[in-house]
Amino acid sequence: MLESGDVIFYSRGVSEFCNAVEQVVTENSCFHVAIVSDTGTVIEATPDGVVELTFENSIEENKPGLVEIMRLKRCENITEKAILESAKWCRSKIGLPYNDLFAADLLNSAKQESYYCSQLITEAFRSFEMQWPTHTLNFADSEGKPIEFWVKYFQKRGYSQVPQGEEGSHPAQLRRSPVFSLKMRILPNLMNLNSLKDLKIFELSSHFVGGKYVDFPSDRDFQVIEPRSGKTLTTWHFATKDQVDITVKTAKSAQKEWAEFTWTKRSEVLKKTADLLQMHCNDIAYWECISNGKTIVEAKSDVLSCVDTFNFYSGIAQNLMGQHAPLDSSRYAYTRRLPIGVVAAIGAWNYPIQTCSWKTAPALACGNSVIYKPSPLSPVTALILAEILKSAGLPDGVFNVIQGDSETSQNLIMHDDVTKVSFTGSIPTGKKIMKSCAERSIKPVTLELGGKSSLIIFDDADMDSAVSCAMMANFYSQGQVCSNASKVLVHRSLLEEFSKKLVSLTKELKVGDPLKEDTKVGAHISADHRDKVEGYINGALAEGATKLCGGDRVTVEGLENGFYLSPCILTDITSKMKVYHEEIFGSVLLLIPFDTEEEAINIANDTNMGLAAGLVTRDLARSYRVSEKLNAGNVYVNTFNDVSPLIPFGGIGESGFGRENGTAALEHYTYLKSVFVNTGSCPNPF
């Protein structure tokens, strides 16, 4: 994050001295400046003298509301070597006193060589012959009257007059110098977990890097839209290639410390994270609802599932143990399961905090660092999880969040120091990511992609249970679920009764404000996606399908511009229709009759996506037999879309490979090292 020669500006101070420094320059909140040394520490001139601190300690001591890290623009006479020499020069001044008179001759009231904060910077770069913005010392207010603080300040040092108008420098004037370019802004300690719901979260910077909220300057931005109202909540920025590089280097450095943590210490952090998620469940669910549009009831359930995830991975230390194998009387071998390094995790918008937790918890348990890039459509709750992890004791830089688009993702994936990629999203994007992971430097990838699943209702099914399963398979999160079974295959003998009951219950579902507890159907993620789902419905009708209910836009009072669509049921579906083959990713249930078990299995397997499948039956033998024949990574019997952190989740075929959840996920975030040991002498075979 910091490089030698970077200059750090501190604004919005809280002490009386900071306020007094800010007042002497108009339209300013900058009160202090420091420089990064050749060893990465921070050198600053303070009232206690020239000191050397870590960056974290410097922030803690100065208590700024805003930190800006500036980079000196390189040119013919400002080279990397020259900047490094300036940084070394600053280190040589450690221990010198403070220039309490702000004198241009570098002498304090005791006639000793000394520096004040901005003077240390200008002197460090004096050899560059740069033209700094001119500044004359000012100790008067906007009306020209001497500020009382400064009058008393100089009186204590034996001076009856303040040195008004003399040559000098000020952090605010240096900040305006054209020789600097903004590298990043940091807003320390803005989130309060005890008042999350009232938090003005969009005033935070959109990135979380090195344990701090960071504002990366970028000319590529995006609007954060609230699905329930259609309102623009804020404008955030995508991370650039250079900013991705900063983040990866931060994560790589932090991972070394985290990997040295014992399993017990890692477990404590993950367990504390689970406790904090549970403690703040309602407030986190509120932001999940605001950001994503799903109902508050579902959002709470999602957060509680994250509690289970972190609890589970806090107790998997024994699964990270290696094996020991005696080979003969003087030889043995053992294996070690080691962290893979820096994980780039790219999340989906339909389950924002759950997707983030599924990737982050096992990766951290294994000793890795994580850079999480949420979808621009739901970018908020990953930042809250970052704050919770920090509060739970996770070292700074081990978990980072950057906002980005496909370009940002590509820069992240292609970075040489990223050693593992985990992606949840569409099949076309997954294929591009897989190609990128092999193109430059081979790195392992987990892909959790789309699905086109089926639910089979056999003739012996309990009718109420069958209808419940069909609704669970289609109507969670407005149908925006990768494992959804949009194809509901019903034995012809049950079709009439099943359809009647299903349509009746579907029509009763309340479409409305997702923040209200009695709402059953919330808002689609965006206007574009709602339009896409409508397009599938209209296309099917044009191809000969019949609509039994739903598929209509719904206007919610007070939220008239929200993205609402009623759940839809279609029948008269044929295998030639687009909706039969493609993932709709919306609440569009397709009723398809069948006559034989073999026919139902063939229809269910008539897809190149193998994420999920399900069946409803009272016949135990049939449940086992059919489950074995369904080409899917997840099979549900008398239920659907069930999930547990104990059980692996993932697909086959075009639905991707690798697994989330369970101990199986640990294999994707570690590598095995085999060690052969000979305790005797080594014979020469030649």
- Active centre residues (catalytic): 448, 482
Check: CB of residue 639 under 8 Å from CB of residue 484. Answer: no
Contacts of residue 276, defined as CB under 8 A and 6 or more positions apart, other chains included, come to 193, 388, 391, 392
Tokens of 354: 């759950």
Check: CB of residue 169 under 8 Å from CB of residue 119. Answer: yes
The helix/strand/coil state of 472 is: helix
Burial 386-414 (b: 16+ CB within 10 A, else e): bbbbbebebbbbbbbbbbbeeebbbbbbb
Residue 554, judged by CB atoms within 10 A of its CB (0-12, 13-18, 19+), counts as: middle
State the Cα–Cα distance between residues 136 and 265, nearest whole angstrom.
54
CA distances from 63 to 18, 52, 72, 200 (A): 10, 16, 24, 20
613's enclosing H/E stretch is strand 612-616
Sign of CA dihedral 386, 390, 393, 397: positive
Closest CA to 314 of 355, 261, 265, 258: 265
Check: CB of residue 604 under 8 Å from CB of residue 628. Answer: no
- Residues facing 660 on adjacent strands: 649
Tokens of 392: 């739970």
The helix/strand/coil state of 383 is: helix
State the Cα–Cα distance between residues 146 and 390, nearest whole angstrom.
44
Closest CA to 678 of 322, 338, 336, 334: 334
Neighbours of 675 (CB within 10 A): 11
151's enclosing H/E stretch is helix 148-156
Residue for token digits 């699964």? 319
State the Cα–Cα distance between residues 358 and 308, nearest whole angstrom.
10
- Residues facing 53 on adjacent strands: 42
Main-chain dihedrals φ then ψ at residue 673, nearest 5 degrees: -115, 125
The helix/strand/coil state of 327 is: strand
- Residues facing 51 on adjacent strands: 44
State the Cα–Cα distance between residues 385 and 362, nearest whole angstrom.
15
**DSSP letters for 178-209:** TTEEEEEEEETT---GGG-TT--GGGS-SEEE
Check: CB of residue 1 under 8 Å from CB of residue 209. Answer: yes
Tokens of 273: 């994270």
Check: CB of residue 346 under 8 Å from CB of residue 422. Answer: yes
Check: CB of residue 108 under 8 Å from CB of residue 151. Answer: no
47's enclosing H/E stretch is none
Alpha-helix runs per DSSP H in 404-449:
406-414, 427-439
Neighbours of 31 (CB within 10 A): 27
Closest CA to 30 of 152, 199, 180: 180
How, if at all, do strands 180-187 and 546-549 pair?
Answer: unpaired
